[in-house]
Structure 1
Amino acid sequence: MIGYFGDIIFETSDKRICNFNNMKQAASATYSDHKRYRKKPEREFEGPNNQTVSFEMKLKAGHGVRPLTMKNKIIRYCENGKVCPFVLGGKKVGDGNWTIDSVDASFDEVWNRGELVSVTLSITAAEYH
């Protein structure tokens, strides 16, 4: 097992491939600039912002995953505001739990009767405290 996001397990084996690519993690902070007469503004650190991550998941039926079921599950996480732990290699990503802010789905392969065989999901998530 590579890790998990809630009950979505990231793994690669001879029976199942459910993994992500191109993960980016971003951290930022908030500052205030205080104007001063005839001087440069003075910066004041207010605190850190919630971290964000973005990644892609390419789900294929031939890899032991049900693309439509997984896509719908991740969209439900987003639309219902599900709060989940995000763990990679046994270590939490960031300081807290996470929510999925957006999901973009690219229907890569659809067969004759509308069966979704391959889908690429672009996911953006943020820390939730």
Structure 2
Amino acid sequence: MVKLTDNKGKGVFATTSISKGQIIETSMAVELPDSDKETLDETIIWDYYFDTSPCEFGLKEKAYILLGYASLCNHSSVPNAAIVWSTGVLGVRGDLVSLKQIAAGEEISIWYTNVNEYVSKGLIPASDAVRSEEVR
């Protein structure tokens, strides 16, 4: 659920208890054109997109907007969730995955960074950084 926080504007909050490793939400991603990125960096959209460059894990060096709650999660230096990216026949998507147990009513937070830093900081294993789906 999205609601106002005390000091960060809108935030995403758990409506039920969430187990460690649980996928909280899966969101399709919209790839932002390179030609628009510089312009978008000067707009409010800058606060809501994910930049995958430079990426060592198979995603194109692009910027994406996730069409779901994940784009509204606030930053934390000690996050309780992370974005795990997937590529497949439908394109790129992001899974919002819990890094620890999250209590009902607790704010869901992510660390604002690129894919490589989630791995280098030990938040997720390299094998989970980007998943490639098989064609079904």
- Fold in common (TM above 0.5): no
Write 1 or 2 for the structure with the bigger share of strand: 1
Higher relative contact order (CA 8 A, sep 6+): 2
Short-chain TM bin: under 0.3
**Larger Rg over CA atoms:** 1
Write 1 or 2 for the structure with the bigger share of helix: 2
